[in-house]
Structure 1
Amino acid sequence: MTQTAPPQAPAVSRRTWLAFAVVLLGTSMALLDTTIVNVALPVIRTSIHADEATLSWIVSGYALAYGLALIPAGRIGDRFGHKGVFIVGIALFTIASFGAGVSQTSGELITARVVQGLAGGIFFPPVTALIQLMFPGRVRGRAFAIMGAVIGVSSALGPIVGGLLIQWLGDETGWRSIFFVNLPFGVIALVAALFLLPSGAEGREARGIDLVGFVLVAGALTALLVPLIQGQDQGWPLWTWLSLAGGVVLLVLFALWEVGVARRKRTTPLVPPHLFSHPAFSGASSSPWSTSPRSRASSSRSRCSGRRVSATPRSSRGSSRSRSRSAASSAPRSRTVWPPGSAAPC
């Protein structure tokens, strides 16, 4: 009987590493823009006469839209291909960066920042999917380690780069330049992604997208975060508490809807319910180091239908009763040692 050889892992070529550099460039853009704007908030306040709520929305609106786009972007990539989702996200992020740089009012800047966050949340999930597609086992671990380092460095460089740009170009031009700096890198990433990234058509999801689930989770997160941003400045009026309660209700409805979607199996749920059926969420634990050896031994005996298992095999039990106690105590007794965490067979 002939055995089928396992499929060969794809070779990691120079083109693969160039494609990896493209996705890292997109990752660094999204995370740099998360922190670079923080240092420019005092300048933005005086430049466009923004109040505290506007400054909060400049930061929180980006984070809110970014978080809302992560889950559906991953599902859309599974359905239509991660390369296209990455390209659309990079293009939208570059356009939104230009819009934020030319904003003249608080509303324009907040809108541009929300679109920026939405675009960052669109092209970030394909990054991990493309890394898994491009790299085999051990090299994949190295690629994820490099990506982790890029994430940390990009987040830390944001305030430094923003401060240097404002110091170099002045207050009015400096805060706009922190958005304009994304334009050349966005164009480079967009053009390079068109030619270097793999299509990944073989990993596409055949089932539909859970649009109702996306609406529910988006409404829930918005209802929870909007009062947290606006409530303190407005003295926590009644609508803030009603919004928080409505957000909790929407989260419950989202969980129930996802369970129903998983049972019907006609569309792919945004958050598969089986992820929360792990023993870590239910209070039980099945790991070998979570219970004592005594409890594992007792559980193995209970599974043996009442048959008691001795640690000494039958072959070592002497059939003759005439053996003296002294000889029995001095002779070495053979014992079966089972592997750690394993149960003795019945």
Structure 2
Amino acid sequence: MATDQHAASSAQRQPHELDERQKSLAFFTVLIAVVLEVADSTIINTALPAIRSGLDASAAAMQWIVAGYLLALGALLLLGGRLGDAFGHRRLFLGGVAGFIIASALCGLAQTPTQLVVARILQGSAGAMMGPQTMAIVQLLYTPLERVARLAWFGMIIGLAAIVGPIVGGLLIELNLFGLGWRLIFLINLPIGLFALLLGRSTLPRADAAHHGLAIDLVGAALFAAGFGIMLLALIQSEGQLDWRAALLLLGTGLVLVTLGWRRATRRSAAGQAVMVEPTLFALRSFRWGLIASMAFTSASIGFLMIFAVSLQQGLGLDPLGTALIHIPFGLGVMAGVGFLVPRLLPRMGRVLPMIGGTVMTIGITVVLTLIGGGADRGAALIAALGLAGIGFGTLSGPLGPIAVSDVARVHAGTASATLRTAQQIGGAFGIALVGTAYFSLGGQDPAMPLQGLLPGGITVALLLAIATFSVSRLPADLFGKRRHSQAD
């Protein structure tokens, strides 16, 4: 009884008043939300054939079942972050989790492709309310150096959730519990989400009073949401229903809207009015270069994982489950990099560690793609190269989140988190478009595609990783020293 009362009271206390156990429970709660958000962007891939058969869905509907979630998530992240800053991260987090549960139930109950697309858009919208609060809550709970070990787990969890998602999806469909088939991949979110909701109500601290009362710039929110949504639509659909002219037109339109939103934010910030994106964040060298590095890294990693999986299946003939299982050495390498190397070495090595990580990842990916191009679908050399690439992935991605927000004032925690996540979403879409174009268009579509397409695809991935590594080199040498509210290069 006393323990329950003690846990429940933590929700009424400020972050600095919580003990380590209470902070750990709060951290565990937000990790659950991260898994839900990321896994639902990849778990759908394994289920698409079953959904198409069960709902008699068209190819266009299949695209929108995947893209609708990503579009809503990417377009509304900034609004979700600002709402968290204005009304409290705990409140928005719990509301987002509740919305995610409801939307997941609607996905599982959908009777037509249109119903499923709409439910997926609602699911992405709820994720956009929930997602920015996760990193913001961790930022509220811990000091900049303490966040290294905590936020580094986000990189590992995101990577593993993306990899495990298709495996879990395949297993759930194979089990076919209660005859539900593909619907289980959505309905499984209900007990997990309810657990996170109940745990969050008793463990998450309330935001400081200074975080409340911030106004919302609705016009700015509309400009950024429309701009990023149109840009993501162009990138996601550029290899599907849109030709290159239409894709460029949409990209240009989206860029114009985002530019208008940025100019509006700059003017309003100078006048002391509410803004959707905080321009002062980009005066922080750690945030500016950390965001660029995160965007380039996400492009490279998403692009690599895509051409790796496609080559194994279409080029070497592996089935989806076999392909997913080959990702395990990569996942273990990510765990080693994030969970072991980053917490121990980053405080001492600073920006040198993620720079080494980018180099190691590039070497590992080069070896992996060379082996796959030569026809190898397993073996000690491939396992070792995947493990090496995973370690590089972990030691590069793990520090980027903590570094990017290390100098951000806590009152802007949600906005900073959402801005970073939006950049990552756009980076992922760019990775699919850039690496996918190099792989498919330049490599061709014939059975020899792994030999032809992996070279231009791999070069594109390496160039993106080079941009990420260079951006890391531009970070302050003293990453977690005294606060740098404004720095010029």
Distance between the aligned counterparts of 2:60 and 2:94, measured in 1?
A: 33
- Letter matched to residue 96 of structure 2: G
After TM superposition, list the pairs within 5 Å mapping 1:270-285 onto structure 2: 270-272=277-279, 275=282
1:13, distance to aligned residue in structure 2 (A): 2.7
Query: What's the CA shift for 1:56?
Result: 1.1
Is the contact between residue 281 and residue 288 of structure 2 (CA under 8 Å) also seen in structure 1? no
**1:103 aligned to 110, 114, 117, which one?**
110
**CA shift at 1:245, angstroms?**
3.9
Query: 2:16 and 2:71 mapped to 1: Cα distance?
Result: 38
Contact 2:221/2:276 (8 A) holds in 1 = no
Contact 1:34 1:62 in 2 (8 A): yes
Counterpart residue type for residue 49 of structure 1: D
For residue 221 of structure 2, what is the aligned residue in structure 1? 214
Q: How does 1:117-266 map to 2 (within 5 A)?
A: 117-169=124-176, 173-229=180-236, 234=241, 236=243, 243-266=250-273
2: CA distance, partners of 1:135 / 1:273:
22
2:74 partner amino acid: G
TM-superposed deviation, 1:260: 1.4
Contact 2:73–2:125 (CA under 8 A) maintained in structure 1:
yes
CA distance in 2, matches of 1:185, 1:246: 39
| Amino acid of the structure 2 residue aligned with 1:31 | V
Match of 2:99 in 1: 92
Equivalent position of 1:55 in the other structure: 62
2:23 alignment partner, SS class: helix
2: CA distance, partners of 1:132 / 1:47: 43
Deviation string, structure 1 residues 104-155 (Cα, Å, up to 9, x no partner): 1111000111111111121111111111222345433222123332222211
How much has 1:9 moved relative to structure 2? 6.0
- 1:72 to 2:79 alignment: yes
CA distance in 2, matches of 1:191, 1:280: 33
- Separation in 2, partners of 1:166, 1:155: 18
Counterparts of 1:23 and 1:58, CA distance in 2:
26
Q: Tell me, in whole angstroms, the C-alpha distance in 1 between the residues paired with 2:107 and 2:51.
A: 11
CA distance in 1, matches of 2:73, 2:287: 28
**1:148 to 1:203, Cα distance in 2 relative to 1, 3 A:** farther
Q: How far has the Cα of 1:174 moved from its partner?
A: 2.1
Residue 280 of structure 1: CA displacement?
11
Distance 1:150 1:125 in 2: 15
Cα separation, 2, equivalents of 1:221 and 1:53: 21
Q: Alpha carbon RMSD of aligned pairs, Å?
A: 2.9
| Residue 55 of structure 2 is aligned to residue 35 of structure 1 | no
When normalised by structure 1's length, the TM-score is: 0.71
Q: Describe the superposition over 1:267-319 as per-residue Cα deviations: whole angstroms up to 9, x where unpaired.
A: 1342426616969989xxxxxxxxxxxxxxxxxxxxxxxxxxxxxxxxxxxxx
Deviates more, 1:133-142 or 1:183-192: 133-142
List gaps (5 residues or longer) in structure 2.
1-14, 290-489
Q: 1:146 to 1:108 in 2, by over 3 A?
A: same
Which protein is bigger by CA-based radius of gyration? 1
- What is the distance in 1 between the residues matched to 2:178 and 2:255? 42
Change (3 A) 1:150 1:248: closer
The answer for the alignment partner of 1:114 in structure 2 is 121
> Matched residues in 1 for 2:18 and 2:208: separation?
18
Contact 1:216-1:250 within 8 A present in 2 as well: yes
Instruction: After superposing the two structures, state which structure 1 stretch, 98-107 or 69-78, moved more.
Output: 69-78
Return the alpha-carbon distance in structure 1 between the equivalents of residues 226 and 268 of structure 2.
18
Q: 1:75 to 1:107 in 2, by over 3 A?
A: same
Counterpart code for 1:270: V
Higher share in helix:
2
Change (3 A) 1:118 1:235: closer
Pair 1:279–1:189, CA change in 2 (3 A): closer
Identical positions, percent: 36
* Number of aligned residue pairs: 275
CA 1:256–1:135: 2 relative to 1, 3 Å:
closer
| Aligned residue in 1 for 2:327 | none
Q: 1:77 deviation in Å?
A: 1.1
Secondary structure in structure 2 of the residue aligned to 1:209: coil
Q: C-alpha separation between the residues in 2 aligned to 1:147 and 1:242?
A: 35
Amino acid at match of 2:142: F
Q: Distance in 1 between matches of 2:285 and 2:142?
A: 29
Q: Is 1:132–1:140's contact at 8 Å kept on the other side of the alignment?
A: yes
2:180 is paired with a residue of what secondary structure? helix
Taking the aligned partners of 1:176 and 1:160, their CA distance within structure 2 comes to 15
Contact 2:83 2:92 in 1 (8 A): yes
For structure 1, list consecutive stretches of 5 or more residues without a partner in the other structure. 1-7, 283-346
Distance of aligned partners of 1:23 and 1:175 in 2 relative to their CA distance in 1, 3 Å threshold? same
